[in-house]
Amino acid sequence: MSLEFDGAERRDDALILVDEADRNVGSMGKEECHSGQGVLHRAFSAFIFNQDGALLMQQRSAGKRLWPLYWSNSCCSHPRGQETLEVATRRRLMEELGIACRLRFLFKFKYQAQFDATGAEHELCSVFVGRHSGPLTINSGEIADWRWMAPSELESEISDLGALKYTPWFMLEWARIWAEHRTDVLSLTIS
């Protein structure tokens, strides 16, 4: 049984601005970073699998400014201030899902995705994987719904609905994970 609590990430959090080499070049409020075509900032995504190899997916809350109610990977966010990516990822896993698990870094990539005329993502994103099989404590301020999906089920659904249902960063990350890191993910032994 999972418990729920409220407490959405603040819209005024200062995000870390970076150049293409991931060097810190300043900070800016979260809303400003996501306005217009977006300003390049540091971010992370975590993909959490259970003991059966299913991926924990979350549906973003209706209150999200960008891609509300779209499905995405287990957890994604931004480090704050001088936080390392590892510390920020662990913090958000606890805040959104109520879990702690070891993480393995897979890759880093830059992308820009336009949601509408007034907002976009423009991130240098580090991608991590981990394994968790215990209970979840879902943060209802961040997550509208969640489910575990077998990779085969996910691949089928993406080919049918893709961009209509899933966030653009998830689509990019999952394609690369499945193409380049499938063996690692399927044999994930970290806990």
What residues are paired with 111 via a beta bridge? 123
Q: Active-site residue among 96, 123, 142, 173?
A: 123
DSSP label at residue 1: -
Polymer length in residues for the chain:
191
| Alpha carbon distance 88, 19 (integer Å) | 19
Would you call 76 a catalytic residue per the annotation? Answer: yes
DSSP states of 38-107: ---EEEEEEEEE-TTSPEEEEEEPTT-SSSTT-EE-SEEE--BTT--HHHHHHHHHHHHH-----EEEEE
Farthest-apart Cα atoms in the chain, separation:
44
State which H helix or E strand residue 151 sits in: helix 151-161
| Alpha carbon distance 101, 90 (integer Å) | 8
Q: Hey, what are 137's tokens?
A: 């404590």
Q: Active-site residue among 33, 76, 101, 125?
A: 76
Identify which of 45, 83, 82, 77 has the alpha carbon closest to the alpha carbon of residue 64: 77
Would you call 157 a catalytic residue per the annotation? Answer: no
Active-site residues, by number, are: 76, 123
